[in-house]
């Protein structure tokens, strides 16, 4: 596996909106920070994770979904691609028990590889998993869902909450 990597920043912003402690949440992903070249490589872009409103009294977690889209080209423009891996960083919490900061308050959330939200998307350490494709088809766009969840019943004060993550594509 080549150690060529690229980084896409992920910012997750949460704004508490009403006296009922509802929050509006969205995670934004910048697009196209990796580029393919004649020598081969990958192009990656993302779609935002938008949580909508979060009610601190609701016993049900708030789920949402975003996307990572990547296309890889083989070296020299022909042949095959091997071993594409995508990691997502720990964020400002410094662990895979991710949280968004709002002043001194923290709003816990996480990102997952699977729709049942059992496989935390990380880098393969600390009980996390990563996306891996040993033989993606060359020059073919792949769309990967990112499953997000804000944990239920968090007593957080009104305010704005944010986190910053990186997406790393290794090929």
The ranges assigned to domains in the chain are 5-170
**pTM value?**
0.79
Block residue for tokens 């070296």: 75
The pLDDT value recorded for residue 40 is 65
Query: What is the second-level CATH architecture of the domain 5-170?
Result: Sandwich (2.60)
* Contact indicator for 84, 169 with CB cutoff of 8 Å: yes
d(CA 118, CA 111): 10
The pLDDT value recorded for residue 160 is 72
Q: Tell me: the pLDDT tens digits for 21-75? A: 333 344 444 333 344 444 568 888 888 777 777 788 899 999 999 999 999 988 7
End-to-end CA distance of the chain: 6
Q: Tell me: the pLDDT tens digits for 85-123? A: 999 999 888 999 999 888 899 989 999 999 999 999 999
Strand 41-47 versus strand 105-112 pairing type: unpaired
Block residue for tokens 């499953």: 147
The pLDDT value recorded for residue 151 is 95
In this model, does residue 8 exceed pLDDT 80?
Answer: no
> What string of DSSP letters covers 55-118?
ETT-SS-EEEEEEEEEEEE-GGGSS----EEEEE---TTSSSS-EEEETTEEEEEEEESSTTS-
């Amino acid at each position: 596996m080549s150690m060529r990597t690229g980084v896409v920043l992920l910012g997750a912003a949460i704004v508490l909106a009403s006296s009922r402690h509802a929050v509006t949440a969205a995670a934004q992903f910048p697009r196209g920070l990796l580029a393919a070249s004649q020598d081969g490589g990958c192009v990656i872009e993302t779609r935002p994770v938008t949580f909508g409103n979060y009610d601190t009294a609701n016993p049900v977690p708030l789920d949402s979904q975003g996307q990572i889209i990547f296309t890889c080209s083989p070296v020299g423009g022909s042949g095959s691609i091997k071993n594409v891996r995508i990691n997502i960083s720990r964020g400002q919490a410094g662990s895979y028990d991710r949280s968004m900061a709002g002043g001194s308050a923290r709003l816990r959330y996480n990102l997952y590889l699977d729709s049942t939200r059992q496989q935390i998307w990380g880098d393969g350490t600390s009980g996390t998993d990563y996306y891996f494709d040993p033989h993606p088809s060359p020059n073919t766009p792949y769309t990967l869902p990112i499953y997000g969840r804000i944990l239920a019943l968090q007593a957080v004060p009104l305010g704005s909450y944010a986190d910053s993550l990186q997406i790393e594509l290794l090929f």
